[in-house]
Structure 1
Amino acid sequence: MAGIAAWTFAQTLRGVASAQTAPDLPITVAISLVATAISALIVYYFRRSANAVERRASWRALWHPASFGWIATAILACTFFSASISKFAQHAGIDLTPTNQAFAQIIASHPIAVVVFAVLIAPAYEELLFRRVLFGRLWAAGRPWLGLALSSLAFALVHEPPGLGASRGWGMLLLWSVYAVMGGLFAWIYRRTGSLWTAYLAHAGNNLVACAALMAGP
């Protein structure tokens, strides 16, 4: 909200008519990404920052041979589940239009920017917020399954805010299930490997597959 207000104010100072001061889609996406990044970093550094010992252990765990197998498994599972839900919705006549479909309108004109944000930047701060902070706090408290459930639910709601997306009813529930399963898989491999890097790479790989699908689409 602060970012959009600042943009509108800056446009007004430039003499742009009030009816034209609202940011267009690429600017809105950029503002949302920056805002979420700032929020995630603030929460991480004040509530769940890693010390030097944890960072070294996480880096070593990433290079364990099994870690890359789990990363690949998570990417394949996310892709298969998303495709299955999409196919089911199409067969059942359910509107399944995700909020991030907006990227399809941007990726043709700004492919590099979209890929950098979606594949490299967004997974980084989302993993810090949802897995390291939300899931990690309950994991450390001895309640990993509760942490997995709550962080996955929050992950789904942030990606598909109720009432703001194009889908309604069953479509919204199906989209929530897709994101909740993704969040659950990322949390699971984080706990399984002991490295947040594995969750980040699985998340980045999943987003890369999604971007490739958008680029290959009609």
Structure 2
Amino acid sequence: MSDPAGGPPAAVSSSDIAAAGFPPLASRTGPLVRAFLLDIAIAIIVLLVASLASGIAWGVWRVVVVVQENGGQAPEAAAIAGAIGEPGALAQILMAAVGMSAAALVLYLVRRRATAVERRQSMAALRRRSTWSWTVLVGVAVFAGSTLLGYLMQLAGSEPVPTNMALVEEAARHWPVVLVLFAVVLAPAYEELLFRRVLFGRFLAAGRPWLGILLASLAFALVHEVPGLSANPPLAVLQLWLVYGGMGAAFAWLYWRTGTLWAPILAHALNNGLALIVHGLA
């Protein structure tokens, strides 16, 4: 299987930039941040369009099912609307996968497509034993760290409920195989492509990895726990942001350290798989 995203270019130091006659790093921060914000805007637009399209497709499919159940006779509009109802766990998972995958692929293809050299470097890095060691270490450490934080915050009286928890639990009851494929295969792939290759990778290539880790991890946390969409109190929301932000930072560092996007993809998959197993959701 070829690497669609490639590995990151070697980090550029301040002395390298000065020796090459480029402007100081501080003067290059503005364009980087503007490019980052443009990436975010494009991702949101694509996500909304893809989600709307998948929602319409689901609605059309439900109408067809309703008509078939009525012997080919189209019921009244009010009856159709009632029969369509709300998308279930399976439909919501598929819509989420379509929307986020579309956003990640569009951003990758239009804004941060890997070169042939980057792909070769990525595959070479994947063959190194140290890459696999770091991948397992980070994947386990992320899961252990988030579990420990959750335990300590529980002792302090904070027990946040992630926005997607109800969806995950319903999927675990009725569609466990789909849940595993989504959490362990699809989500790690498109999230790492978007947040690490595109958003963080832009800063890494420009020699500003720490700023990239900060901004990309903040975006990663906000996507997973959007303020106002759950009943969590402020302290619980902050806890979830710390968990997701720390996860994003760890995966970005792993990408930087190993030079291949496959490392954070696999570490992300390991973390999600451990979560499913330990919490009995698989």
For the superposition of Structure 1 and Structure 2, which TM-score range results when normalised by the shorter chain? Answer: over 0.9
Q: Deviations over 1:175-217 (max 9, x none)?
A: 0100000000000010011111111111111111111123269
The residue that corresponds to 1:198 in the other structure is 263
Identity of counterpart residues, as a percentage? 43
Distance in structure 1 (CA, Å) of the matches to 2:135 and 2:231: 31
Q: Does 1:127 align with 2:178?
A: no
For the 8 Å contact 1:71–1:199, the answer to whether it is kept is: yes
Q: CA deviation at 1:75?
A: 1.4
For the 8 Å contact 2:93–2:182, the answer to whether it is kept is: no
Unaligned stretches of 5+ in structure 2? Answer: 1-50, 67-74
The residue that corresponds to 1:50 in the other structure is 114
Q: CA deviation at 1:95?
A: 2.9
Q: Does 1:7 align with 2:70?
A: no
Return the TM-score normalized by structure 2: 0.72
More moved, 58-67 vs 125-134: 58-67
Considering only CA atoms, is the larger Rg found in Structure 1 or Structure 2?
2
Q: Name the aligned partner's letter for residue 11 of structure 1.
A: R
More moved, 105-114 vs 192-201: 105-114
- 2:244 aligns with one of 150, 160, 179: 179
The residue that corresponds to 1:87 in the other structure is 151
More moved, 165-174 vs 42-51: 165-174
- The equivalences for 1:163-174 within 5 A come to 163-174=228-239
- The equivalences for 1:15-34 within 5 A come to 17-21=80-84, 22-34=86-98
Q: Deviations over 1:88-141 (max 9, x none)?
A: 222122131112312122113211111111101111111110000000011111
Q: Does 1:64 align with 2:128?
A: yes
More moved, 15-24 vs 151-160: 15-24
For the 8 Å contact 1:98–1:166, the answer to whether it is kept is: no
Q: CA deviation at 1:54?
A: 0.9
SS in 2 for 1:158: helix
More moved, 10-19 vs 171-180: 10-19
For the 8 Å contact 2:169–2:281, the answer to whether it is kept is: no
Q: Deviations over 1:16-54 (max 9, x none)?
A: 632343212221121011111011101101111112221
SS in 2 for 1:75: helix
More moved, 21-30 vs 172-181: 21-30
The residue that corresponds to 1:136 in the other structure is 201
Unaligned stretches of 5+ in structure 1? Answer: none
**Inter-CA distance 118–216: structure 2 relative to 1 (3 Å threshold):** closer
More moved, 93-102 vs 142-151: 93-102
**Inter-CA distance 141–29: structure 2 relative to 1 (3 Å threshold):** same
Q: Name the aligned partner's letter for residue 244 of structure 2.
A: Y
Distance in structure 1 (CA, Å) of the matches to 2:150 and 2:254: 24
How many corresponding residue pairs?
217
